[in-house]
Chain A
C-alpha cells in the first residue's frame, strides 16, 4: 500500500521507524512530492550532531562504528548510522555490507541503520545524502554517524555534511595512506588509528604527526590522534570522550554554526541549479524554456549562441513579468 505524506508526517510525530525508512526512499528516488515533504519536516532538523567517518577499506570503520554505538547507548543516546557505499558505474547495482558488523544493534529501538548506494551521478551523491541525513535528524536522533569509503575524492562531498570528521586508519595500510595524506588531511578533525594492537601502529602515528605538523604548523589546527582496537573495545570510550569534547569546542568557537550555514547555503545552491536546469531544459513536470529548434540552430558559434539564448531568456522574462 503506498504511503502518503500525511502518513509520514504522522509517523515522524509518533516515532514510527517505518515512516522514516519510507521517507528516505522518497529522497533517494527524488520522488516528485519529496520537496514538499522535506520542507514540512524542516523545522525539526538541527538537533543531531553529525559525525563523518571515513578511511580506506579494511581500516575497520564498521566495527569501530559498532563499538561507538555501544558506548553511546551506554550513555542513553539515540544513534543513527547512514553508511554510504559506491554504486557500480557499469551495472547501477551495489553490494552494501556495512550492516554485517553492526548486527548486535539491529533490535535496539534507539538505533537505526541505513545503507545507501551512491547511485552514480557525481552531483547527486551529496544532494541525496544531505536530505537523507536531515530526515534522520528530524526524526530525533542525538548522534548520526555517516560512514563512507575513503579512497579518492568522492568522499569530500559527504564529509562536508558532517559536524566533525574522523579519519580511520590502520597499521600496514601502506599506500592507501599516501593517498589519504593528500586528500583527507585537511578534512580530518580527528585521526583514529584502529587495530592499534598490530605491528606498525607507532610508525603510523609518527608519520601522521609529522604530516600534521608540516601542514598545520602555521594555523595551529589541533588534530588529535587516538588509538583503538574496535574488536575488543579498547580505546573506544576515550575516543567518544574526545569526539564529544571536540563537538563542545566547535560549538563554543562558532565552528558548528559555520559548518551548518555552509551546508545550508550549498544545499540551496544545489536546489537552485536543479530548478534552473529544469526551467531551461524541462523536467517530467514542465516543458523547458529553451526550444529544441533553438539548440539545433547552427548559424552561430556555440558560445555566442548560448550567450544570445540567455540574453533572450532573461530579457524576455523582464518584459513579460
Chain B
C-alpha cells in the first residue's frame, strides 16, 4: 500500500517572490513526496479549497510580504471550515521570531526563516506526518 505524503505548496498574498517556494517544492519532491504547486497570488479560500480537492497531508505556505499574521490565521480558518483542521500547515519566508512563536502557539506547524536548511524542512514534515499517521491507526 502506497502512502506517499502529499503536500500543497502555495504562495498567499501579493508578493511575487516564488523562488523559495519552488526550491522547497523540488526538495520535497526529491524526498519522495507528491508536491502540488499552485503558483502565485493565492487567496486563503483558494488555498484551502485546493487542499481539499487534492487531499493533502501538508500545506506549505511561502510568504515574503509581511502579511503573515493576517493571512496565516485566515487560511487556518478556511481549512477548518472545510473540515480540514487535521492538515499540517507549515510556513517559510520572512517571519520575525516573535511572530513565529505566536503562530506556532495558534496550532501551526513549524515556520522556517530565511537560510533554513531545506533538508530540515523535509525531515520535519516526514517525522510529523509519520507520527500523525501512527496516531490515527491506534
Contacts and interface: CB of A to CB of B under 8 A. Distances in A.
Interface of A: 1-2, 17-18, 21-22, 24-25, 28-32, 87-88, 91-97, 99-100, 103, 106-107, 112-115, 117, 119, 284
B70 interface: no
Nearest to B137: A2
Given A88-B29, A91-B29, A91-B31, A31 B1 contact: yes
Interface of A, helix, strand, loop or mixed by DSSP: mixed
Nearest to B5: A93
Contacts of A25: 55
Given A96-B36, A99-B37, A107-B49, 14 more contacts: A17-B52, A18-B52, A24-B55, A91-B31, A92-B4, A93-B4, A93-B28, A93-B31, A93-B32, A96-B34, A96-B35, A103-B39, A103-B42, A106-B50
Contacts of B46: 103, 106-107
15 contacts: A21-B55, A30-B1, A30-B2, A88-B30, A95-B35, A97-B37, A99-B54, A103-B39, A103-B42, A103-B46, A106-B53, A107-B49, A114-B53, A115-B34, A119-B4
A262 to B, nearest CB: 27
A29 B1 contact: yes
A91 B32 contact: yes
Contacts of B42: 103
B82 interface: yes
Nearest to A115: B36
Contact of A93 (B29, B50, B52, B55): B29
Nearest to A108: B49
Contacts of A30: 1-2
Contacts of A103: 38-39, 42, 46
Given A18-B83, A30-B1, A94 B29 contact: yes
Interface of B, helix, strand, loop or mixed by DSSP: mixed
A93 B2 contact: no
B84 interface: yes
A31 B3 CA distance: 10
B136 A28 contact: no
A285 B82 CA distance: 34
B35 A94 contact: yes
Contacts, number: 88
B98 interface: no
B82 A18 contact: yes
A115 B25 CA distance: 15
Contact of B53 (A21, A31, A100, A284): A21
Contacts of B3: 29
B129 interface: no
B45 interface: yes
A136 to B, nearest CB: 11
Interface string B12-46: 00000000000001101111111111110010011
Contacts of A92: 4, 32
A25 B33 CA distance: 14
B136 to A, nearest CB: 6
A30 B49 CA distance: 24
B34 A94 contact: yes
Given A30-B1, A92-B4, A99 B50 contact: yes
Given A91-B30, A93-B33, A114 B1 contact: no
Nearest to B47: A106
A163 to B, nearest CB: 23
Contact of A95 (B1, B26, B50, B83): B26
Interface centre among A22, A87, A95, A107 (most CB of B within 10 A): A95
A236 B42 CA distance: 26
Contacts of A93: 4, 28-35
B29 A21 contact: no
A93 B49 CA distance: 23
B86 interface: yes
